[in-house]
Each structure stands twice: as C-alpha cells, then as structure tokens.
Structure 1
Amino acid sequence: MFAKWLRENNVAAGLLTVLRVWLGYNWMHAGWGKLTGEGFDATGFLKNAVANPVKGPDGNMVYSWYVSFLDNFAIPNVDLFNFIVPLGEFLIGLGLILGCLTTAAMFFGIVMNFSFFLAGTVSHNPTDIFFGFIILFAGFNAGKYGLDRWVVPFIRKTVFKQTPEQAHKAV
C-alpha cells in the first residue's frame, strides 16, 4: 500500500520533489565547491583510506577487496578520480534538482555514498543513502514534477521504440 502510494500518488510526487531538490542541492554544492575551489585532490583521502581501513571487532579489515581496489587502481589513477568525483557530484545534484534522469542520478549518488562509506567515512552518508533509496524506490514518481515528465517518455519512444501510448502507460 505504501509502495503504491509512493510510486503513484501526486502528493507523494510533491514530497519527493522537495526531498529530491534538497538532496540535489547538497550534491551540487559539494561538487561545485570542488570544481571551482583551489583544486580538488583525492590523494590524501585515498591514501588515508588505505592506511586506516575499516576494521571489525576482531581487528581485521572488513572491506579488504575495497582497500585493494583503492591501493591498486584508485591511487595510481588519482587524476581520473580527481576529475570524476567533483563532476559526478555536480551532475548528480543537477539531475536531482531538475528531475532529469532522476533514478539514474540517484543510483550513482548511492554508489558514490557507499564508496565513501567503504573507505571509512560516515559523515552525512547514512542520511543520503536512506533518502536516496526512497527516491530510487519511488522511480518515475520522484521526477514527475521535473524534466522526467518529458524526458522519460521521449527516451522510451526513441530508444526503446515504444509508441507514445506504451511509453506513457509504462510510467
């Protein structure tokens, strides 16, 4: 019952819009600060995550596979991460604020939040993940009062070759 309300109700769409814009502003603000500041460099963060991994009660690394990924891929390619992290944060925020490709933007936001979590950073990530899953679960309704109202049917029509009736019926 709640799932149906969240995914189909106009009041839910309005509440989701407020939540979506708030989260979008936070994402966009974080990305914009990194893009326009004195330069973003993830090297220190990545090296610290490798040097101080998340440990369980027994003192063993919990996410050794992630630490290995950071040490063997992220640090050697830090320039790539210095580019994609701020740009990704900014684009996630833009997508959420505009309600354009909302579920895709929120999916990548949740992936980024979990990446920070796996590296040992808590901060506001639990809140972002919680609200992000609500937006993701709501699907199209989260972007109903945004550009998704037009973008999603257009994509379904042109990419998936659905008729306008099928495209609107699917959302």
Structure 2
Amino acid sequence: MMTWLRENKYAAGILLFVRFYLGYQWLNAGWHKLTGGFDAGGFLKNAVAKPIVDKATNELVYPTFTAFVNNFALPNVKIINFMIPLGEFLVGLGLILGGLTAAAAFFGLVMNFMFMFAGTVNTNPWLVLIGGIVFMAGTNAGRYGLDYYLMPMLRKLFTNKKDHIDRTAGTGTKPTPAHA
C-alpha cells in the first residue's frame, strides 16, 4: 500500500484533490487570521488554566506542552500571533501549489497536534488524518505540482554540494605527529 501511495501516478492524481482540499482548509484559516486581527493570548491562557487532565489521577496529560505554553508561548504571544497565521497560510499555499508538499504536510501536522494538545478538537483529527496521508505519500503527493520541477533541482543541488564536500574533505593537510 505504501509503495502505491508513494510511487503510483494514479495515487498522485487522487492526492492532488486531497492536497487541494487540505490546502484550502489551511490557507483559508491562515488568511482569516492574517486579515482578522488574530490574538492567541486568550486561547493560550485557557490552555494553561484548563489543561487536559487525567480524570482518575487529576494529573496533566501533556505536562511538557503545558510548560511550553506557560514558559514560552504566553511570554512571547506576539511571536505566536505572527507565526500561527503565517504558518497556516504557508502550509495551505504549499499544499495547493504542490511545492515542498511533504514539508507543508509535516508542519500542518505539527500545528494540528499543538492545537489538540491544548484541548481543541474541532476539525484537527480530520486534518491530521488527511495530512498524515499526504505526508506519508512524500514527493508523490506533489507530483502534479511544483514538486515535479522543484524536487529534481533540490536533489541536484544537494548532490553537487555533497560531492563537493566529499572531494574537498581529503585535500586538507593533516597534522603530523610530534615524533615524526
């Protein structure tokens, strides 16, 4: 199944529509936040004031996330207010255009999980499911998009850079032992 998802051109065609749907969800959410005066402060305060707790033990389910919100996100809410809308918009753009598709899906998944760790369920599980499929498909998800052109260029760039590093690694002078 994974081979079909990652290599089959028909799977890539199906993923094109999946990408468009998922990308639109992200792009639309990001755009509304970018243009609508988004402020995550109240959401973050609520995530700390009412964290997800185990009903039997009354212990935090995600203590590391709660500490992250309390010690980093809240004190830097202005950065968060910029990063979330821009991140959502760029994830959507990457998915719709099929450019760096796997990376866009990955960062969308990270945001979805962050929202769920804070206790927000709404569409996040659905977007995680779809985003996971796109992410698992890798570059095949962007076959009918910018990745068709972008990925070969990136492979060539990184292959040439690696070859250059490998060739120049052996040309340096090695220190001679003191007794030689």
The TM-score, its normalising length taken from structure 1, stands at: 0.91
Instruction: Report the alpha carbon displacement of residue 68 of structure 1 after superposing the two structures with TM.
Output: 0.8
C-alpha distance in 1, partners of 2:128/2:111? 10
Instruction: Report the alpha carbon displacement of residue 60 of structure 1 after superposing the two structures with TM.
Output: 1.6
Q: Which runs of 4+ in 1 moved over 2 A?
A: none
- 2:63 is matched with 64
- 1:168 is matched with none
Q: 1:48 aligns with which of 30, 46, 49?
A: 46
Secondary structure at 1:161's aligned position in 2?
A: helix
Secondary structure at 1:121's aligned position in 2?
A: coil
- 2:103 is matched with 104
Superposed counterparts of 1:145-156, under 5 Å: 145-156=144-155
C-alpha distance in 2, partners of 1:17/1:81? 30
Which ranges of structure 2 fall in alignment gaps of 5 or more residues?
Answer: 162-180
Aligned residues: 160
Secondary structure at 2:159's aligned position in 1?
A: coil
- 1:157 is matched with 156
Instruction: Report the alpha carbon displacement of residue 8 of structure 1 after superposing the two structures with TM.
Output: 1.1
The TM-score, its normalising length taken from structure 2, stands at: 0.87
Q: Give per-residue Cα distances to partners, 1:129-169, cap 9 Å, x unaligned.
A: 1111111111111000000000011111113328xxxxxxx
C-alpha distance in 2, partners of 1:87/1:97? 15
Structure 1 stretch displaced more, 50-59 or 91-100: 50-59
- Matched-pair identity in %: 56
Report which of the two structures shows the higher radius of gyration computed on alpha carbons.
2
- 2:134 is matched with 135
Instruction: Report the alpha carbon displacement of residue 55 of structure 1 after superposing the two structures with TM.
Output: 1.1
Q: Is 1:29–2:62 an aligned residue pair?
A: no
- 2:168 is matched with none
Secondary structure at 2:38's aligned position in 1?
A: coil
Secondary structure at 2:99's aligned position in 1?
A: coil
Q: CA RMSD in A?
A: 1.0
